[in-house]
Amino acid sequence: MKPSEKPGYSLFVLVLILAVVSQPVVASDETKLQTPGSQHQLVFGIAPFMSPLALIKRMAPLRDYLSQIMGRTVRIETATDAREFTQRTLEGRYHFVLTNPTFALMALETSDFRLVATQKQHISGSLIVKADSEIQSVDQLAGKSIGAPPKVGFLGQLVRPYLKAFDFPENQMPRVFNYNSHNAAISALRLGDSDATLIVSFMEKHLDKQNLPYRVIHRTESFPGMTILGYQSLSDNEFKQLREILITIDTDAQGRAVLEKINMPGYRVMEESELEKVRPYLPVNNKK
């Protein structure tokens, strides 16, 4: 079957065309690139929810754990923003990826990806302000500015319909500014470039490191957690092995230690139908 004939391929390509407007540098935990066809290593792509170097450092314990159990070298690779990550994922540069639920839903509508597992902890958006801000509630953001992650990402798509659910006065909708990453959106709040910022819930734990005293004034509804997808280059045996490792990682001391180091929950098997909850927030459904 030609790529253009695959179910959902046109949707994924449309998102790619809308997203790829620049070519940022790709970060890897090795300097020498090998393709996913290599028999010596597996490439683990991770959506850039943090800066590349910080992300690779944080996820290194999971990389090492997977390498040990699978008997294969696992290399982490990420990008400086969601545009490049989208492009590289579509090109098949990764054997498996950790990504957000909207990206997972789009990818699974092609025949190139399979659902490995999802994190047990659901995610939501946390609307935060500085601790000393006079803003106490969402309605006080009328006419104010709100920072958000990249528009092609989950929260970048969620933020506008989320705000529309509040009863803001006419012509007083908050102004939304999408940044290249969560860290950039957080920095905008710290520097006073935005009055509030919408971040994914698990990033709250990292705000202390950002030197930013904050308050959460509202949270969105919850959605399926960060999800791991396997590309078609991942063999059936590797797929089964990876899934088994992930869904049992929190059942032994070594695995729990890894999760504690990377500050993430364990994994579970998920039905693809659970991802339908995020369909209203796909980029093609939120063009404005």
* Residue of 75 and 150 predicted with greater confidence: 75
Closest C-alpha to 30, from 22, 19, 38 = 38
As a CATH number, domain 125-219 is 3.40.190.10
Q: How far, in Å, CA of 141 to CA of 129, rounded?
A: 10
Q: What is the DSSP letter of 139?
A: G
CA-based max dimension of the chain: 60
Q: Let me know if 190 is exposed, middle or buried by CB neighbors in 10 A (0-12, 13-18, 19+).
A: middle
Q: What is the pTM of this model?
A: 0.78
Q: pLDDT-based confidence at 118, cuts 50/70/90?
A: very high
Question: Residue 159, by phi and psi: left (phi above 0), alpha (psi -120 to 50) or beta?
Answer: alpha
Residue 208 φ then ψ, to 5°: -60, -35
Residue 188 has pLDDT above 70, yes or no: yes
Q: What is the DSSP letter of 151?
A: T
Would the CATH topology of 3-122+223-285 be identical to that of 125-219?
yes
* Residue of 280 and 24 predicted with greater confidence: 280
Q: What is the DSSP letter of 173?
A: P
Q: Where do the domains of the chain lie?
A: 3-122+223-285, 125-219
Given CATH 3.40.190.10, say whether it is the number of domain 3-122+223-285. Answer: yes
Residue 4 has pLDDT above 70, yes or no: no
pLDDT confidence of residue 152: 77
Q: pLDDT-based confidence at 31, cuts 50/70/90?
A: very low
> What is the overall mean pLDDT for the chain?
86
For residue 183, what are the contacts with CB-CB under 8 A and spacing of at least 6? Answer: 50, 51, 54, 210
pLDDT confidence of residue 16: 44
Angle, alpha carbons 263-216-189 (nearest 5°):
90
Q: Six-digit token pair at 96?
A: 């498996």
Residue 212 has pLDDT above 70, yes or no: yes
Q: How far, in Å, CA of 99 to CA of 97, rounded?
A: 6
Write the CA distances from 221 to 51, 106, 176, 273, integer angstroms: 26, 21, 19, 18
For residue 47, what are the contacts with CB-CB under 8 A and spacing of at least 6? Answer: 78, 82, 85, 97, 98, 99, 100, 103, 153, 226
Share of the chain above pLDDT 90, in %: 67
* Residue of 150 and 258 predicted with greater confidence: 258
Q: Six-digit token pair at 286?
A: 């939120």
> Hey, CA dihedral for 231, 232, 233, 236, is it positive or negative?
positive
Residue 39 has pLDDT above 90, yes or no: no
Pairing of strands 267-268, 73-79: unpaired
pLDDT confidence of residue 111: 85
Q: Six-digit token pair at 154?
A: 């989950």
Q: What is the pLDDT of residues 84-102, one digit of tens each?
A: 898 999 899 999 999 999 9
Residue 40 has pLDDT above 80, yes or no: no
pLDDT confidence of residue 204: 85
Q: Give the alpha-carbon dihedral of 256, 260, 265, 269, to 10 degrees.
A: -30
